[in-house]
Amino acid sequence: MFMTLMLVTALGDWDDRIQNIELPNPGREPNRYAVMMPEKVEDGKRYPLVLALHYGGRVTPFFGRGYLELLVAPAFARQDWIIVAPDCPGRGWASPEARDFIPKLLDHLKARYPLDDRKVLVGYSMGAAGAWFWAEQQPGEWRAVVAVSGRAPDGDPEKLKQTPFYVIHSREDELIPFSRTMTAINALKKQGVSAKFVPLKDLKHYETGAFVPSLKRTTSWLKKQLK
């Protein structure tokens, strides 16, 4: 799955809150992520983690930052959350490289930033599939998952039951059929998985930035899951 980035002509007033971080990875390409801190970080206060998993494409250094700036930051910039957008180190978020990287990244983030134990996954396209995957791999670890324009899994419903999902998909998605996602979500709901499904109209798959208003509308739902 390849994602053509829409041109971001102007960043919000949150761009100076984003930092690029590179982690040594002996014998291999360094691991990288971008992090956006809350507007005001208070001494002694801890914050939830939003892990933002990017779409597919040729991963150049700090590819995740492009996803963060295009979709996630415009939607969540006013929230008191620490948002981290890593670069996928392999061919997808379920690749052996990603399976090795994500647990190590979570340990690193917990040690480096003022995080509490609350974690959320937000993924678009390949990243949405990755969010489903990691919710199943780590049942009970994630307070919530927001999956946008991605394939729903044929995963283990018993594991997925432990995480609430908010799924956004456009009827006009030309890459990942809307009907397939809707059918998969309905099947999972019948098996007891908590999944809110929000259908959209008139948006194509590669119009990533146009999904900002819909992602922003997940905020109140996410806050309930983070209580």
The two tokens of residue 24 are 């040594």
Question: What pLDDT is stored for residue 6 in this prediction?
Answer: 36
Which residue reads 């259908």 in tokens?
Answer: 199
Beta bridge partners of 121: 51, 145
* Residue 7 belongs to some domain of the structure: no
Identify the three-state secondary structure at position 215. helix
The parent domain of residue 156 ranges over 31-226
Beta bridge partners of 148: 124, 168
* Residue 15 belongs to some domain of the structure: no
Question: What pLDDT is stored for residue 12 in this prediction?
Answer: 59
* Residue 4 belongs to some domain of the structure: no
* Residue 13 belongs to some domain of the structure: no
CA 194, CA 142: separation in Å to the nearest integer? 13
Instruction: State the 10-residue block means of pLDDT for the chain, 227 residues long.
Output: 36 80 91 96 96 97 97 96 97 96 97 97 97 94 97 84 96 94 91 94 96 98 97
Question: What pLDDT is stored for residue 225 in this prediction?
Answer: 97
Question: Is the CB of residue 85 less than 8 Å from the CB of residue 102?
Answer: no
The two tokens of residue 158 are 């018993």
Interhelix angle 126-137/96-112, nearest 10 degrees: 80
Question: Is the CB of residue 112 less than 8 Å from the CB of residue 104?
Answer: no
* Residue 20 belongs to some domain of the structure: no
* Residue 53 belongs to some domain of the structure: yes
Task: Name which of 93, 102, 95, 84 is nearest 33 in CA terms.
Answer: 84
Question: What pLDDT is stored for residue 9 in this prediction?
Answer: 32
Count of domains observed in the chain: 1
Question: What pLDDT is stored for residue 154 in this prediction?
Answer: 75
pTM score, whole prediction: 0.92
* Residue 144 belongs to some domain of the structure: yes
* Residue 42 belongs to some domain of the structure: yes
Question: Is the CB of residue 3 less than 8 Å from the CB of residue 55?
Answer: yes
Q: What is the CATH number of the domain that holds 108?
A: 3.40.50.1820
